[in-house]
Chains A and B, each alone.
Chain A
Amino acid sequence: MTDTLTSPGTTPEPDSSARAGRGVGASTPRPRRLGRTTLLFAGLTTALVVVSLAAAGSGQLAIPFDEVIGSFLHRIGLDIGTMPTHPRGDDTLWSVRFPRVAMAMVVGAALAVAGAVMQGVFGNPLAEPSVVGVSSGAAVAAAISIVFNLSFAGTWSIAVCAFLGGLITTLAVYALSRADGRTEVVTLVLTGIAVNAVAAAGLALLMFIGDTQAREQIVFWQLGSLNGSRWQYVAVVAPLAAVGCVAALACARSLDLLALGERQARHLGVDVERLRIFLIVVVALLTAAAVSFCGIVAFVGLVVPHLVRMITGPGHRVLLPASLLAGALVLVLADLGARTLVAYADLPLGMLTSLVGGPFFFWLLRRTRRSAGGWA
Chain B
Amino acid sequence: MTTPRPSPPPPLRSPADDPTPGEVALRARGIDVRFGATTVLDDVALDVRRGEVLALVGPNGAGKSTLLSVIAGDVEASAGTVEVLGRPLSDWKLRELARSRAVLTQEHQVAFPFPVEDVVRMGRSPWRGRPEEDADDAIVAEAMSTADVAHLAQRSFGVLSGGEKGRTSFARILAQRTGILMLDEPTAALDIGHQEAVLRRARAEADAGAAVVVVLHDLSLAAAWSDRIVLLCQGRVAGEGPPSQVLTSTLLSDVYRFPIEVLPHPATGDLLVLADRRSAPSHIDRDLTEEAAR
Residues of A near any B CB (own CB < 8 A): 1-2, 4-8, 10-15, 18-19, 21-22, 25-27, 29, 120, 123-125, 253, 256-261, 263-264, 266-271, 309, 313-315, 371
Contacts and interface: CB of A to CB of B under 8 A. Distances in A.
Nearest to A319: B112
Interface residues of B, number: 58
Contact of A253 (B112, B125, B150, B154): B125
Contact of B10 (A1, A5, A257): A5
B155 to A, nearest CB: 11
Nearest to A10: B7
Interface in B136-163: 137, 140-142, 144-146, 148, 150-151, 153-154, 158
A26 B6 contact: no
Contact of A18 (B21, B73, B94, B144): B144
Nearest to B115: A313
A315 B118 contact: yes
A1 B210 CA distance: 12
B105 A12 contact: no
A16 B73 CA distance: 37
Nearest to A253: B125
B117 A26 contact: yes
B259 interface: no
Contacts of A258: 111
Contacts of B176: 268
A269 B126 contact: yes
Contacts of B11: 5
Contacts of B145: 14-15, 18-19, 21-22
Contacts of B97: 269
A264 B141 CA distance: 21
B144 A2 contact: no
Interface in B96-152: 96-99, 102-103, 105, 107, 109-115, 117-119, 122-123, 125-126, 128, 137, 140-142, 144-146, 148, 150-151
A26 B94 contact: no
Contacts of B107: 261
Contact of B122 (A26, A124, A256, A371): A256
Contacts of A253: 125, 128
A14 B197 contact: yes
Given A5-B13, A267-B103, A269-B94, A19 B125 contact: no
B86 interface: no
Contacts of B144: 18, 25-26
A73 B114 CA distance: 43
Given A14-B197, A25-B150, A315-B118, A19 B142 contact: yes
Interface of B: 6-13, 15, 18, 21, 72-74, 93-99, 102-103, 105, 107, 109-115, 117-119, 122-123, 125-126, 128, 137, 140-142, 144-146, 148, 150-151, 153-154, 158, 176, 197, 207-209
Contacts of B74: 263, 266
A122 to B, nearest CB: 9
Contacts of A125: 111-112
B111 A27 contact: no
Nearest to B151: A25
B151 A268 contact: no
A103 B9 CA distance: 58
Given A123-B111, A271-B94, A12 B15 contact: no
A315 B125 CA distance: 14
B119 A15 contact: no
A268 B154 contact: no
B122 A5 contact: no
19 contacts: A5-B18, A5-B209, A8-B10, A10-B9, A14-B148, A14-B197, A15-B142, A15-B146, A18-B150, A19-B145, A22-B145, A26-B150, A26-B153, A29-B117, A120-B111, A256-B114, A260-B110, A269-B125, A313-B114
A27 B10 contact: no
Given A18-B144, A313-B114, A267 B72 contact: yes
Nearest to A256: B122
A314 B103 contact: no
Nearest to B110: A259
A125 B113 CA distance: 11
Given A19-B145, A26-B141, A314 B122 contact: no
Contacts of A260: 110-111, 119, 122
6 residue pairs, one from A and one from B, having the closest CB atoms = A18-B145, A314-B112, A269-B98, A269-B95, A12-B9, A123-B111
A14 B10 contact: no
Nearest to A29: B154
Contact of B113 (A4, A27, A314): A314
Given A10-B8, A26-B144, 6 more contacts: A12-B7, A14-B145, A25-B153, A257-B122, A261-B109, A309-B112
A103 B113 CA distance: 33
Given A10-B10, A14-B197, A267-B102, A26 B111 contact: no
Contacts of A26: 117, 137, 140-141, 144, 150, 153
A319 B97 CA distance: 29
Contacts of A315: 114, 118
A49 B173 CA distance: 45
A150 to B, nearest CB: 39
Nearest to A3: B10
B6 A13 contact: yes
A21 B152 CA distance: 12
A266 B69 CA distance: 12
Given A5-B208, A261-B107, A263-B74, A19 B141 contact: yes
Give the interface centre of B98, B112, B146, B207 by most chain A CB atoms within 10 Å. Answer: B112
